[in-house]
Structure 1
Amino acid sequence: MIGRFAPTPSGPLHFGSLCCALASFLDCRANQGVWRLRIDDIDPPRCVSGSAETIQQQLQDFSLFWDGDITWQSQQLQAYQDQLLRLVNDGAVYRCNCNRKQLQSQNGFELGYCINHPPAANETCALRMNLQGEQSWHDLFLGPQNFDISTHPELCVRRRDGLIGYPLATVLDDISMGITHVIRGADLLPAAASQLALFAYLDYPAPQFGHIPIATNVDGNKLSKQNHAEPLRSANRPQQLRAALAHLGQASSEATGSVEDVIRQAISSWDRSAVPQGR
């Protein structure tokens, strides 16, 4: 079993990040697995200087120690480009010059316009994959899932600005890292269907997915850096851990002692079936 935590270095971790990292870490440790850290830094406009180092320190402060070397997406660019070229040569992608406003007005869909009306050769375009069919899987926490991916936005494998699309990068990274279990927030559940289709297209076994309830603020909005979620505090770390464990429905939310004590008890009592099925 190999799991991973893959934050974008766009700022320090917050409570929602802690819940995701903790769930993945505990699931790996309770099953004698390997837990890897990947820094998803392929989107320079979103990356904040020093954030990657802050994230590493925060994880260590909460005794969430990863195994092996850190994987940096920014160091995998050649592998992404090589696979992108294969997709182009296979005719699996098409050029799209729809701007963000157009896509948003169409719920994220290109709707086939650029397939039927190819942009001029000199136009700056994104590359997209129009995957079809249904994807069914058993989520580790939410149970059986079935999605018709034709109802989901087409995968962007290269953006108009030339940057590699996250859907392609994360699938290629999970393959190269040998990831077998991906645990993350339930807001990413729809993305799993398209990613599973991409794993199938590339003829690689997909990891098992587990989606935990997202942490929200008092207004019911997802905790995120965009919503100015408060960074994790260096003080009262055991208390913050217990709050995260309560969010995950774990009996160890009543654990006492230091951070190390709480983590130790949380590993020994980790229970997948206790994780709430909320989204």
Structure 2
Amino acid sequence: MKKVLISILSGIILSLVILISAPTHISADTLKVGILADNKPYSYLTNKKVTGFEVELSKKIAQEMDANIKFVKVSDRKKLQKLVSEHQIDLALGQFDKTTLSSKLITTDTYLYPQNVLFTGTHRHISSIEDLQNKKVGILANGNQHQLLTSLQMKPKVYNSISSLMKALENKKIKAGILTDYEYTAYLNKHPELTSAYLQALNSTKKSDLPKLTLTRIKDPQITSQQLVGITDKRNTKLNQALDKLKDGNDIIDLSQKYFSQDLTKP
């Protein structure tokens, strides 16, 4: 298992990345950016306008390049990758499997280190990632962790919402689930009855009073950590320079504090 994890970190590195097409397709005055329409807090709609961490980061990159910006909303990362490959957009933000990317694209240094949460509920015998080998693990349709789970010999099961994933966990259709730290925390804030603290506060021995599902984290930093990096054409130095300048300043730290309430710019 350790060799598998090392292989993931060194070779397959499932990362949230920025994809950038060949520089000849980047307009001198407009940067076309592909984003997911429903991927809070990275990109989402508010009053029919796009906002989020990736949206603001894209605007800052465009500002550094002295360019206008145009957002192209899509439903999933496969479409983003396709648009980049066909040079229909200049920049795509999201997590992609590096093994499927064009050889013309290279990665920048990591600029953000968000966290995933791997968790189980009714399956008390599940306590480590080894226990989940060849087992079904719930993931959201727009989740970033499909290739990571597959590489660890788990079987990703896709759900369209967190509530449907939790229902599957409650009904023992899956052994565990994986969400971003933001998604997991936000959902528990709305559903405190799923926490162990709620169970302890309940202080009841009646089976009918007990909650049907209580979530338990499976802590393993090697599976829960993500690395956000940029993918760019080897000749495209202007975008790299813009991103490096934002990294060197406090811009990305400020955005991280705004959208995640913490500094995720360090591992």
| TM-score bin, normalised by smaller chain | under 0.3
TM-score by length of 1: 0.25
